Each structure stands twice: as C-alpha cells, then as structure tokens.
C-alpha cells in the first residue's frame, strides 16, 4: 500500500511540476533543461556554466549595464582552431528586449545549449560551429525580466526599460503602480456591474465576457488593471515604471514620443541599448541577425514603415528564401513585411540591424494564438466553415475565443492560467470583481509547449546561419602568353544564399567592398579586371592599380577575374571580405 502511494505521489509530481515550473526555482544544470522558465539570475548562471563546460568554444562578455545595474551578457560561440571569430560570417541572436517576453530569451539560451552539446555529436552542427561565429545575448532587458519574475504583473506589464518618468506630471516619479489588491501574485482586471456597460457575460462560459451588440443591454464595465489611487490625484495606475520601449529606441528612422509611443527622449537613451549598439558595431562580421519577441507566430522583416520604401530586389530575394524556409521549419508561423503584415514602427532594432549594419535581420514573434486550443477535429472543421460568435480579431490572425482559451486553461494547465472573478470592495469604485489571466499566460505559453517552440525557432536560426556566405578561391588558369608574360585567372564561388555584402550595403556604401589582390616580389601586374566572357576573352579591365580589385560575390554565384602579369616567381593571391572571411593562395610563375 505504501509503495503504491509513493508511486502515485511521484506520478502526480511529474505531471504537476512542468506546469508549476514557470513559478518555481530549479537547479541549473548543463545540458540545460527547457521545461520551465529561467529567471534572470538563472540565465546568468546558465551562461557561466556553459562557458565552464565548453571553454574552448565560448567567450562570455559583459556588454553593458542596465538602468538598475544588472549586467547584459553576450556569449560568443566560435572554434578558434578553425579561425578567428571576426574572420568568419557572424550570426547575431538576442531575446527579451521586452521584459515580459520571457520565452524570447529561452530561444537564445536554447540555441547556445544546442550548438555546444551537439558539437562533435552532430556533423551538421560541428561543421556550422567550425565555419561560423555566433553572438548571442539571451536577455537584452535584464531589469524587465527580473521584475517580471519577482513583482506582481499582468501578462503585458513590465515591457519597457526601467527609466523613471513622471507620467502624470505631478513632480513625482513612478508613484502609482497597479496594486495586487487580492494578494494572489498577479495583476488582474477589475470589472463592475453596469447595465449600460459595453460587455456582457459570455453564455458559453460565465468567466468570460463578450461585447454587447447595438441595442443589447450591457452587464459589465471594465475598469482596467487592479489598483488604487496611490498618490491621491483622482486617477488609478497612471504612473507606473517609466515606459521606454527598447524596440523603439534605435537610431534608424527614430521618431519622438508624440509620433512613436515609447521612443524615449532620444535614440539609444537606454543604458544597455547604447552598450549593445557599440558591441554590435565592433563585430564587423555580423551579416545575419535574429531578435525574438513573443506573440503572434511571425517572422518579420523590414521595412518597418511604408515611407522607407522596399529593399533592393536582390535583398528581397534573400529574405524570401530564408523566410519561406522558416515557415516550413515552424508550422503556422507567417513570414511577412513588418508594416504590411502588422503595423508601422519607428526606431526598431531589426531595421537598424539591416540598414546600418548590413545584416539580413528578422524579428521572430513566438507563439501562435490558435495553438491555445481545445477542439475536436469536427469542431475545428466547423470553425473553418463559420467563425464562432464573439471571436477576437486583430492583425488578420486566427485567435481563439476567450471561452475556448478558458477550456485550454482548465484541461491543459489545470486552471493555473486564469483566476476566477471574486468580489472586492474598492475605495473608489465600490463593489467590483477582480479576476482574469495571470502573468504567466497569454504571452508566455505554458512550459509544456516551450520545447517545441524554441527548438523549431532555433532551427530557423540554424538554417539562416548555413546560408551566410561561404566563398572559395580558385586559380582556374596560369597560361604563358609570351616571354615572361602570363595570364592568370581566378574564380570566387559562393555556395550560399547570402551575398558577401547586401545590396543595401553596396547602394548606401556602408562598408568597403571585398578586395582581391595579386602580389609578388618579382612580378608586375600590367592589367586586371573582372572576366565577363572567358570564352571570348572579354574583360572589364581596371584603369588604376590593376593588382587590387574591388568586388562582392553574389549568393549562389561566382565572380571571375583575369590578370596579365610579367615576371616570375611566387605570386600571392588574397581575398578579404567583411562577411566572408579571408582566403589566400600562392602560385608560381616559371
């Protein structure tokens, strides 16, 4: 009997533990686990343990400090035995720029763990780590992550940077936060009985509400997040933490707060953001970028506003190639242009990364709302035929009704995500009710769904990393054409989708072009240029300094050059690229 009881209790713990995992502390071990969410302190510990476990492949750096003094860390993954980090294509990945978007950081952390533990176990990963360099910042907004775990919050609070601001202009800073009136650990919603209200009880589930139709009698008025008037000015929750949105504070196409909410007083006013920008600018090899958020199931690329205009066709083709594949890797995610598919934004990070750094950058919005479902196959088919009454909408995504999300809560998280409405005597509103979704819901999916989300998105990163430029240098001909005169032909081949410099970078002259040089102590380069037609010997010869050629190598393409050389002896041919590394070959003319 005792053994049966022990096994029963153990089984219950195994079932309940993953669901409670978002709220409880676990021991950090390597390899890492991803059936719960890591606090900020645990992320730091995880990075330190990964670095200790794989010291030959990792470098852990302090990027900068947040407003409250917490450290932003970057882990670089590179095999120094196969070359210096800056001599390889660089892939930048970050998450959690918004403090409440927790699983965005988990994608970055999982990528690090996966690359390191699979090195020498998986040939594809081994090759990738040997040939590329990864820069990964799991938590861009450490203050936001810390406060989201440690303070009472709603699913949407603690998004921005912790920069104090006098929102209500009373001379005080951040003095009227929402309040956990019912002491349940989350900030819920307040509602009050009102026959003229715009909401009524959902007949399918009394915990839910739906909007009243014209002519219908109302039942409820929503009063916003739970709280009281802390500063006695007649308003509630109007001056919480200062709101600077870390994804609206970047220099490219920045707009002031009266145009873009959360923009901050000036670009890169965030302490850690400025340090992050300086760090990225020092990594001159970055040509691919991913930044993760947590709602909607999207892979977004720029431009972020219509006025910016479309990217050059060559770059669009690369984005389309990567985006289409990402949609296959992560089911039900949509690849789209930011301003077309979602809304216009100014001063966002991926726009800066694409237009100023020259990287092909995506914003990954994690979690698909329709996956929070509790339907039979028959019910799904019926919904496809006719959407349910009261179904929420927005951005042309398929959202489930609140009533259906509650069924998901009841049967898949055993009621953890929603707190029932309970009466409360409010000092201003009188008799009200408090209830709604807890902070670890809605945006942050339950832990049992986490592994599939983060592995698939990490796989999308890995596919894009494989498509960063890989260039080979070949000497295709050494031909003596006269006494002491030679014709030398070279070929640079790129077997991957990305060019060695984006078309935008070339158009805006952001960086120098790649360079091909031909030099020797006993030779003279009399002519050199791009080989247009090797069969008819058509060459675009360069007027000055023919030994130095400026170029870029297109994705899935090649560039050939021809040099007319006099002299003899050893000749060194070198190729130098910002994003494709350095190559060298030595030949001998005799």
* Sequence ranges of the domains in the chain: 28-148+244-367+447-466, 166-240+400-437, 471-589
With a pLDDT cut of 90, the percent of the chain lying above it is 81
pLDDT band at 170 (very low <50, low <70, confident <90, very high): confident
| CA pair distance 324, 344, nearest whole angstrom | 22
Residue spans of beta strands (DSSP E) within 250-401: 286-293, 298-301, 334-337, 360-365
Which pLDDT belongs to residue 393? 39
CATH topology of domain 28-148+244-367+447-466: Aminopeptidase (3.40.630)
Residue spans of beta strands (DSSP E) within 188-273: 189-193, 199-201, 209-211, 220-225, 243-244
Q: Are 57 and 79 in contact (CB under 8 A)?
A: yes
Candidates 496, 479, 497; CA nearest to 488 is 479
The C-alpha angle with vertex 479 and arms to 557 and 534, in degrees rounded to 5, equals: 35
Q: Are 109 and 39 in contact (CB under 8 A)?
A: no
Q: The pTM is what?
A: 0.92
The pLDDT of 463-485, averaged and rounded, is 96
Which pLDDT belongs to residue 12? 40
Element (H, E) at 454: helix 450-466
Residue spans of beta strands (DSSP E) within 138-285: 161-162, 189-193, 199-201, 209-211, 220-225, 243-244
Q: How far is CA 260 from the centre of its chain?
A: 21
The pLDDT of 511-517, averaged and rounded, is 97
**Alpha-carbon radius of gyration of the chain:** 29
| CA pair distance 299, 347, nearest whole angstrom | 18
- Residue ranges in 300-449 assigned as alpha helix (H): 313-329, 338-341, 349-355, 377-385, 402-412
| CA pair distance 40, 47, nearest whole angstrom | 11
The pLDDT of 553-560, averaged and rounded, is 98
Strand pairing of 243-244 and 220-225?
Answer: unpaired
Judge whether residue 481 has pLDDT over 70.
yes
CB crowding 275-310: b at 16 or more within 10 Å, else e: bbbebbeebebbbbbbbbbbbbbbbbbbbbbeebee
Q: Sheet of 514-519: strands edge to edge?
A: 548-551, 514-519, 569-577, 581-589
**Lowest-pLDDT range of 200-209, 238-247, 309-318:** 238-247
Q: How far is CA 115 from the centre of its chain?
A: 17
| CA pair distance 60, 51, nearest whole angstrom | 7
The pLDDT of 462-484, averaged and rounded, is 96
| CA pair distance 387, 381, nearest whole angstrom | 10
Q: Are 465 and 128 in contact (CB under 8 A)?
A: yes
For residue 455, give every residue at least 6 positions away whose Cβ sits within 8 Å of its Cβ, in sequence order, or none.
110, 114
| CA pair distance 186, 357, nearest whole angstrom | 40
- Residues 281-322 have pLDDT tens digits of 999 999 999 999 998 999 999 999 999 999 999 999 999 999
| CA pair distance 567, 588, nearest whole angstrom | 10
Q: Are 143 and 70 in contact (CB under 8 A)?
A: yes
Q: Can you tell me which residue has the tokens 């240029």?
A: 529
Calculate the average pLDDT of the chain: 91
Which pLDDT belongs to residue 386? 63
- Residues 30-71 have pLDDT tens digits of 999 999 999 999 999 999 999 999 999 999 999 999 999 999
Candidates 125, 97, 98, 96; CA nearest to 112 is 125
pLDDT band at 165 (very low <50, low <70, confident <90, very high): confident
- The two tokens of residue 585 are 């070959």
Element (H, E) at 233: none
Judge whether residue 540 has pLDDT over 50.
yes
- The two tokens of residue 356 are 């100023």
Q: How far is CA 112 from the centre of its chain?
A: 14
- Residues 105-156 have pLDDT tens digits of 999 999 999 999 999 999 999 999 999 999 999 999 999 999 999 999 999 9
Which pLDDT belongs to residue 3? 41
Helix, strand, coil percentages for the chain (3-state, nearest 5) = 30, 30, 45
| CA pair distance 37, 446, nearest whole angstrom | 9
Residue spans of beta strands (DSSP E) within 70-112: 71-77, 90-95
For residue 92, give every residue at least 6 positions away whose Cβ sits within 8 Å of its Cβ, in sequence order, or none.
135, 136, 280, 283, 286, 288, 289, 290, 353, 359
| CA pair distance 379, 400, nearest whole angstrom | 12
Judge whether residue 553 has pLDDT over 80.
yes
The interaxial angle of helices 450-466 and 313-329, nearest 10 deg, is 150
- CATH second-level architecture of 471-589? Sandwich (2.60)
Which pLDDT belongs to residue 8? 38
| CA pair distance 93, 445, nearest whole angstrom | 21
With a pLDDT cut of 70, the percent of the chain lying above it is 93
Judge whether residue 239 has pLDDT over 90.
no
Which pLDDT belongs to residue 557? 98
> In which region does residue 224 sit, left (phi positive, over 0), alpha (psi from -120 to 50) or beta (all else)?
left
Which pLDDT belongs to residue 248? 96
263: helix, coil or strand? coil
Q: Are 494 and 466 in contact (CB under 8 A)?
A: no
């Amino acid at each position: 009997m005792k053994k049966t009881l022990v096994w029963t209790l153990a089984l219950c713990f195994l079932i309940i533990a993953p669901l409670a995992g978002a709220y409880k502390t676990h021991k950090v071990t390597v390899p890492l686990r991803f059936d719960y969410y890591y606090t900020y302190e645990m992320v730091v510990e995880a990075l330190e343990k990964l670095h200790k476990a794989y010291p030959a492949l990792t470098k852990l750096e302090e990027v900068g400090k947040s407003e409250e003094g917490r450290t932003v860390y970057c882990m670089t993954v590179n095999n120094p035995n196969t070359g210096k980090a800056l001599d390889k294509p660089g892939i930048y990945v970050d998450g959690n720029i918004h403090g409440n978007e927790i699983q965005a950081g988990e994608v970055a952390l999982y990528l690090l763990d996966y690359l390191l533990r699979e090195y020498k176990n998986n040939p594809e990963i081994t090759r990738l780590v040997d040939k590329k360099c990864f820069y990964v910042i799991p938590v861009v907004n450490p203050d936001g992550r810390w406060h989201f775990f440690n303070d009472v919050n709603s699913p949407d609070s603690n998004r921005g940077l912790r920069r104090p601001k006098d929102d209500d202009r009373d001379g005080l800073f951040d003095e009227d936060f929402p309040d956990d009136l019912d002491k349940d650990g989350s900030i819920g919603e307040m509602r009050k009985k009102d026959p003229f209200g715009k909401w009524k009880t959902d007949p399918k589930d009394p915990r839910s509400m739906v909007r009243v139709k014209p002519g219908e009698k109302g039942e409820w008025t929503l009063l916003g997040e739970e709280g009281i008037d802390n500063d006695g000015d007649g308003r509630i929750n109007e001056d919480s933490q200062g709101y600077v949105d870390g994804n609206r504070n970047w220099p490219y196409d920045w707009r002031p707060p009266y145009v873009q909410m959360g923009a901050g007083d000036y670009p890169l006013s965030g302490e850690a953001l400025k340090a992050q920008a300086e760090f990225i600018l020092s990594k001159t090899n970055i040509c691919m970028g991913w930044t993760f958020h947590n709602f909607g199931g999207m892979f977004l690329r720029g431009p972020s506003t219509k006025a910016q205009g479309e990217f050059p066709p060559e770059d669009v083709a690369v984005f389309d190639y990567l985006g289409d594949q990402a949609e296959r890797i992560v089911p039900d995610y949509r690849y789209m242009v930011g301003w077309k598919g979602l809304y216009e934004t100014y001063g966002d990070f991926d726009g800066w990364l694409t237009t100023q750094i020259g990287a092909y950058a995506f914003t990954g919005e994690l979690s698909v709302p329709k996956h929070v479902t509790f339907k039979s196959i028959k019910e799904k088919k019926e919904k496809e035929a006719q959407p349910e009454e009261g179904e929420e909408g927005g951005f042309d995504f398929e959202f489930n009704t609140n009533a259906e999300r509650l069924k998901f809560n009841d049967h898949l998280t055993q009621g953890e995500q929603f707190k029932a409405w309970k009466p409360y005597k409010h000092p201003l509103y009188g008799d009200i009710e408090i209830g709604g979704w807890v902070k670890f819901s809605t945006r942050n999916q339950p832990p049992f769904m986490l592994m599939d989300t983060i592995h698939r998105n990490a796989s999308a990163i890995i596919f894009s990393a494989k498509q960063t430029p890989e260039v080979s240098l070949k000497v295709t001909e050494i031909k003596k054409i006269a006494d002491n005169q030679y014709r030398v032909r070279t070929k640079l081949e790129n077997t991957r989708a990305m060019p060695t410099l984006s078309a935008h970078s070339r158009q805006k002259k952001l960086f120098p072009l790649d360079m091909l040089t031909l030099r020797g102590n006993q030779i003279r380069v009399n002519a050199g240029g791009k080989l247009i037609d090797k069969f008819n010997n058509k060459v675009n010869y360069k007027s000055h300094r023919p030994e130095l050629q400026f170029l870029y190598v297109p994705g899935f393409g090649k560039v050939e050059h021809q040099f007319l050389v006099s002299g003899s002896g050893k000749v060194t041919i070198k190729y130098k690229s910002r994003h494709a590394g350095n190559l060298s070959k030595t030949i001998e003319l005799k």
